[in-house]
Amino acid sequence: MNADRLPVVILISGRGTNLQSVIDEVHAGRLPLDIRAVISNNPDAEGLARARAANLHTEVVSHRAYLDRVAFDDALRQAIDRHVPKLVVLAGFMRILGRAFIEHYAGRLINIHPSLLPKYPGLDTHARALAAGEREHGASVHFVTPVVDAGPIVAQAVVPVLPGDTPETLAERVLKEEHRIFPLALRWFAEGRLSIRDGRVLLDGAQRPEQGLVGAAT
């Protein structure tokens, strides 16, 4: 039944709204993924309940159970690979992953980040964008490479920064766009439409606009 769907494993750490956007698109028949497992490093992640509600297989690989990052990365890799995914999706996964882990999934590890990369890698992106007086902010979907939040960009969405914005109001505006471009980028991957040349993502073999696709959906 799932033969035409791409096998994926999704990693989360928290509330799981991006996971939910993916689940919703799969259920709507617009995103051909076979979600083989949702794995969290945090046993209390709200996203685990979302996954269970969608009858998905869930697992917890707690980073606290391992002595160091290498041991955690190894355990996580083993848990993932038991499901033989062709794509591993970081949907609000908040642990830094080591080089060996990332290289193991080269070209099949995708992340969503709440900024217009290369601006504001790392944490507290909304507060930093506000403090810098940015007039635009947004979200990026990118392939993961060993440098944090620096891999080739698949899709971006821009939102305005409005007078009176707080980190919370700005985050909410960005999150709405995350929920749009994340499933879209995963669909492109699942349909085999993405490739990487010279560190840039191509869609259907064509060079992308500056910094990846901004805005429009296809």
**Which residues does the annotation mark as catalytic?**
113
Question: Which stretch, 32-40, 57-65, 108-116, 209-217, contacts ligand GRF (CB under 6 A)?
Answer: 108-116
Which residues, other chains included, contact 167 with Cβ-Cβ below 8 Å and sequence gap of 6+? 124, 126, 127, 130
Q: Under a CB-based contact definition with an 8 Å cutoff, are residues 110 and 189 in contact?
A: yes
Of residues 23, 33, 51, 91, which one binds ligand GRF by CB under 6 A? 91
Of residues 26, 39, 92, 208, which one binds ligand GRF by CB under 6 A? 92
Residue 37 tokens, joined = 């497992």
Cα separation, 149 vs 115, whole angstroms: 10
Residue 172 tokens, joined = 């909410």
- Note whether 212 binds ligand GRF by CB under 6 A: no
Write the interaction track for ligand GRF spanning residues 165-184; mark x where CB under 6 A is met and - where it is not.
Answer: ----------x--x------
- Note whether 17 binds ligand GRF by CB under 6 A: yes
In the complex, minimum distance from the CB of residue 125 to ligand GRF, in angstroms, rounded to a whole number = 8
Write the interaction track for ligand GRF spanning residues 35-54; mark x where CB under 6 A is met and - where it is not.
Answer: ------------x-------
- Note whether 152 binds ligand GRF by CB under 6 A: no
Q: Which residue type occupies 52?
A: R
Beta bridge partners of residue 90, listed in sequence order: 11, 111
What is the β-pairing status of strands 58-60 and 206-207? unpaired
When the beta carbons of 167 and 195 are compared against ligand GRF, the nearer one is: 167
Query: Of 208, 147, 146, 213, nearest to 182 (Cα)?
Result: 213
> Which residues of this chain interact with ligand GRF, rule CB under 6 A?
14-19, 47, 91-92, 112-114, 175, 178
